[in-house]
Amino acid sequence: MRLKLYSMALLAISTFSANAMNDLTGVVGEVHTRSGNSDGDHSIYFRLEVDNEGSTFANCLSEGTTVTWELNPQSPVFQQQYNLVMRSYTEQLPVRVSGQRDVCNSTYINSDKVFELSPIHWDYLLNRSKATENNQ
């Protein structure tokens, strides 16, 4: 009986953690920068035009909620993330953004820090547009 109870508790915990993070796809629609103060309060934020079908929102947010994503300028991959964000913004190319697992424990649940950022089908989309240009 205890084994069954432990198994059910473990399943409930793993289900919660799987739904406790934002995993969104879309195109970057807004980019905001803040130079901050002398204490180093520098930040870059962005928002996605979310594809609700390809996205999973943390359980503390409802679908369609605007999530503001924050890039960490101190991260060793900051420049690569910034380049992806700006290219998505300027060329309207889709990206996938995963957030932190503890976003629902945060005071500001409409803001999340980027855990993973990656392009979606850029090779296909860019090659398709080149082929269209060549055929004209």
Q: Does residue 6 fall inside a structural domain? A: no
Long-range interactions of 71-77: CB distance < 8 A, separation 24+? 71/43, 71/44, 71/45, 71/46, 71/114, 72/113, 72/114, 73/42, 73/43, 73/44
In tens, the pLDDT along 91-110 reads 999 999 998 888 888 776 77
Whether pTM > 0.75 for this model: the answer is no
Q: Does residue 93 fall inside a structural domain? A: yes
pLDDT of 27 strictly over 90: yes
Q: Does residue 15 fall inside a structural domain? A: no
Domain of residue 44, CATH code: 2.40.50.340
In tens, the pLDDT along 3-22 reads 554 444 444 444 444 446 88
Q: Does residue 4 fall inside a structural domain? A: no
Q: Does residue 76 fall inside a structural domain? A: yes
Domains: count for the chain: 1
Q: Does residue 90 fall inside a structural domain? A: yes
Which is it for the CA torsion 53, 54, 59, 60, positive or negative? negative
Q: Which residue has the tokens 């180093």?
A: 40
Q: Does residue 2 fall inside a structural domain? A: no
Phi, psi of 19 (to 5 degrees): -100, 5
Q: Residue 58 sits in which domain range?
A: 22-134
At residue 23, the 3 state secondary structure works out as strand
pLDDT of 30 strictly over 90: yes
